[in-house]
Amino acid sequence: MILVLHAHPYPGRSRACAALLAAIRDLRGVEIRSLYELYPDFDIDIAAEQAAVDRAELVIWLHPLYWYTVPAMLKHWFDMVLVSGWAHGEGGMALEGKQCLWVVTTGDVTKYALEAPHAHAFEAFVPVVEQTARYCGMRWLEPYVLHNSHELDDEHIARAGRKLRGRLELWLAEHRPHA
């Protein structure tokens, strides 16, 4: 089972993330949880979220990059759900061996360079998210990064959606329970 944690602070303004989500929404074996819609007051149901993780073998974090990392709601999910004794620390093995796929959309990729507005390559901002997964014993898959998401035309975005769908279909085929 694939669990998709989707976090967009302004879903009404979302184009790239919305298209990626639409491209995978009907796949059997995929559960999508849109955290901003589920928890408008940030009152995350920790037991429900942990149960959703328990059901999954692959956990996807799908969101636009906000201030170089995950939007606040997904960070709140990290802070509240990935607690010691469950996700890490003494007795915290719940995510051990599960896979983690980061699906992230960003703005203008040319701004990610030393002499550019973001002063770093995009890769400099990855460790915060990657290490959150790894510290919980998850296997970190090659991230699915969609740069230039504001500038891409509809056909590019549709193609990105099909590519993501293909990747998940392949995963599902490889992880189908034996008949």
* Segments in 3-70 forming alpha helices (H): 16-24, 35-38, 46-55
Backbone angles phi, psi at 117, to 5 degrees: -55, -30
Q: What are the structure tokens assigned to 102, written together?
A: 């980061």
Nearer to its own copies, 91 or 177 (CB): 91
Q: Indicate the residue among 23 and 82 with the shorter CB distance to its own copies.
A: 82
Nearer to its own copies by C-beta: 112 or 171?
Answer: 112
Over its C-alpha atoms, the chain yields an Rg (Å, rounded) of 16
CB of residue 153 to its own copies, shortest distance in Å: 22
For its own copies, which is the closer residue by CB, 25 or 111?
Answer: 111
Q: How far is the CB of 167 from its own copies (least distance, A)?
A: 25
The amino acid sitting at 50 is Q
Rounded to whole angstroms, how far apart are CA atoms 26 and 133? 26
Question: Quick count: other Cβ atoms within 10 Å of Cβ 50?
Answer: 17
Closest approach of its own copies to the CB of residue 1, in Å: 24
Alpha helix ranges (H) inside 25-153: 35-38, 46-55, 72-81, 126-135
Q: Give residues in contact with its own copies (CB under 8 A).
A: 9, 41-43, 66-73, 75-76, 78-80, 82, 117-120, 124-125, 127-128, 131-132, 134-135
103 neighbors 149 (Cβ within 8 angstroms): no
CB 49 within 8 A of CB 79: no
Specify the 3-state DSSP secondary structure of 82: coil
Considering beta carbons, is residue 71 or 161 the nearer one to its own copies?
71
